[in-house]
Chains A and B, each alone.
Chain A
Amino acid sequence: MIVYEIEKSLNGLLTALFESYLYKEVPDLVSADGSYQVKFDTVIRQIKPDEERANRVKVAIMKYSNEYTLDMVRTVLRSCSERKFTVCFNYLRAIVENRRDIAYELGSAPTVEFNELKDRVRLEVHRFKGFLRFSETVDGYLFAKFKPDNDIIDLLAPHFMKRFKFHSFLIYDERRNRAVAYQNGQAKYFVPNKPIGVCFGREELDYRALFREYFDAVAIKSRKNQKLQRNFLPVRYRNSMTEFGNIQ
């Protein structure tokens, strides 16, 4: 078994692809965090990212495919799956190997795996467009914190920038300790170095209570179907949503 240990970046991944041609071998696993089991016959190659090699691979990929492929790879790399580097590696290698874009070969294994991760990231972005909950602070800006499975804050923020054009807001990813602040048409992504504390506005708790009232009233009790509810709204998302759990 051959394992490539790479740096956690697109360049790291592309360099690995270059080296696999250099060594004339196909790794069984590409990993960036060492979370794999070492077996008796495991060969580990440490691969240092190399800008020049990465660029040569990029040129090759662009020759057979287009910028969209790299965009999608960037999306998949946001996934929380342990296999994401391997999946991207296999996908890109299949493009170079076949000398054509395989995005539409929906039956081939690398494409299937790749699309699956891509769809999962996109689904979560779509879900949080609805499930994210803001609170209004005393200064009148909006604050939301959430714990997404995938690293999606950069994909999610533009949606709210369009929506709350003239409002300031702050979204905080608790799991990865990353945040985005938006004010006067400009967004800034940053890593907060201390816990973010906010002071809620006067009406905040009232509106939360109203929404909980609404949430309860709008359900038709004689058609209760909690399994369906769970399918659409997984339980793990609920602790940061106003209508479930503690009102504070």
Chain B
Amino acid sequence: MIDSERLRILTESAKYDVSCSSSGSKRSGQGRMGDCSYAGICHSFTSDGRCISLLKILLTNRCCYDCLYCVNRRTADVPRASATPDEICELVMNFYKRNYIEGLFLSSAVEKSPDYTMERLLDTVIRLRKQYGFGGYIHLKGVPGADRLLIERAGKYVDRMSFNIELPSENSLRLLAPQKSKKTIITPMRQLADPIYNEPPYKNRRGFLPAGQTTQMIVGASPETDGHIIKLSQALYDNFKLKRVYYSSYVPTNFETQYLPQKQAGLLREHRLYQADWLLRYYGFSAKELLDENENFEQGYDPKCHWAIKNIHLFPIEVNTAPYELLVRVPGIGIRSAKRIVTARLSGKLDYEHLSRMRVVLKRAKHFITCNGKFFGTDDAFAIKNLLLLSHESENYEQLTLFSDNETKNSVITGEL
């Protein structure tokens, strides 16, 4: 059994990998214990509000690379530890049967060489599947620069693989992670996106990477703009069929250098990027529509509001007739609400009351829609912008005076922010 000290070290080194989802795989009836739930299951939530779905752990944090942003870089003065493949397997099986976790997220620092590290990772997952009969979810971190046969072999055993793109541009990568290069990261991603893996003999009962591949990049450690980042994300989704791009806002590690900011990047920026990411994947937006390459997102309101205000001439739209594609573009109406509207309007005209009963959030949406020809919002773009800005501020208290503007007065009287 692994001791708690090593578990702590190996977990603390792995926790900055944000990928936590256990969804997208339908593995069932394989192995002696465990299956996968397509929607994913969260088993707990830590004090930072993130879920525990997978056991996030490194095989070792002894690294021969020296990436400046990373806690495990060679020159960092941190406690080092390693675990054997059997220790990891035992831990996974015992956590899994107690229902603590949904599967394993296995990664490793680059020890000796990429191939050596990848072999050890592969050894662990094969052991877990074959010897221990584990049928649950496995997310394996790939090591850039490892041999393509090793990567292909891993794809047969795990549900999801990911190679981290780390930083949004080649220049930053050269500056902050000198041993990694764009080529070594992109090559395996391209390999895994190869359509050959969708056909036999790769596509068999067990499947090849049933939950696809993802990646992660650090935001705020380098000077790239939001526009640049979402353009990159879009290219990754289009070219490599990624399931997700994760963004992790930069957290300063115990190390000072002129190349890195001393301050933690804002969580709000990360949040806006995720919102934009969802718009790319589910709402039919393109990166170009959302933002120009050298622009950043407004902090005051979300990317969809930003887009809607820029394109105010398209609104208001009629909820009873507007196509689904346009409904999801209304600020405040999400995928769920849009689907509800489309279903509900089949059996009768919808008015404002119907919408609020259906729990469609109308605070923002009312400025952009008409219900049965009736409009309940404000039609001046500038006023809408201010209202949206206000509605995003959670704490907006002000003592009412004789000189308060109309906006505040209304808000005090109606209770609306």
Contact = CB atoms under 8 A, between A and B. Distances in A.
Given A131-B44, A218-B11, A104 B102 contact: no
Interface stretch (B92-100, B237-245, B279-287): B92-100
A134 B97 contact: yes
Contact of A232 (B1, B16, B42, B264): B42
B404 to A, nearest CB: 30
B390 interface: no
Given A203-B1, A211-B95, A106 B344 contact: yes
A79 interface: no
Given A104-B344, A163-B34, A241-B44, A134 B11 contact: no
Contacts of B347: 102, 104-105
B43 A130 contact: yes
B344 A163 contact: no
A135 B98 contact: yes
Interface in B318-360: 340, 343-344, 346-348, 350, 354-355, 357-358
B351 to A, nearest CB: 9
Interface stretch (B2-10, B153-161, B407-415): B2-10
A109 B100 contact: no
B18 to A, nearest CB: 9
Interface string B38-82: 010111111111111101100000000000000000000000000
A151 interface: no
Interface stretch (A178-186, A191-199, A221-229): A221-229
B395 to A, nearest CB: 14
B98 A232 contact: no
A133 interface: yes
A43 interface: no
Q: For B11, B28, B267, which residue has the most chain A Cβ atoms within 10 angstroms? A: B11
Interface in B89-110: 91, 94-95, 97-100, 102
Contacts of B293: none
A142 interface: yes
B251 interface: yes
A217 interface: yes
A164 interface: yes
Nearest to B248: A220
A11 interface: no
Given A104-B347, A142-B97, A167-B33, A213 B8 contact: yes
A166 interface: yes
Contacts of A211: 95, 98, 100
Contacts of A233: 44-45
Contacts of B41: 126, 129-130
Contacts of B52: 215, 218
B35 interface: yes
Interface in A97-112: 102, 104-107, 109, 112
A171 to B, nearest CB: 10
Contact of B48 (A102, A160, A219): A219
Contacts of A129: 37, 41
Contacts of B358: 106-107, 112
Given A106-B343, A213-B4, A217-B12, A142 B98 contact: yes
Interface of A: 102, 104-107, 109, 112, 126, 129-136, 142, 144, 159-160, 162-167, 203, 206-207, 209-211, 213-229, 231-233, 241-243
Given A105-B347, A209-B4, A214-B55, 6 more contacts: A105-B348, A166-B32, A203-B1, A207-B94, A219-B48, A242-B98
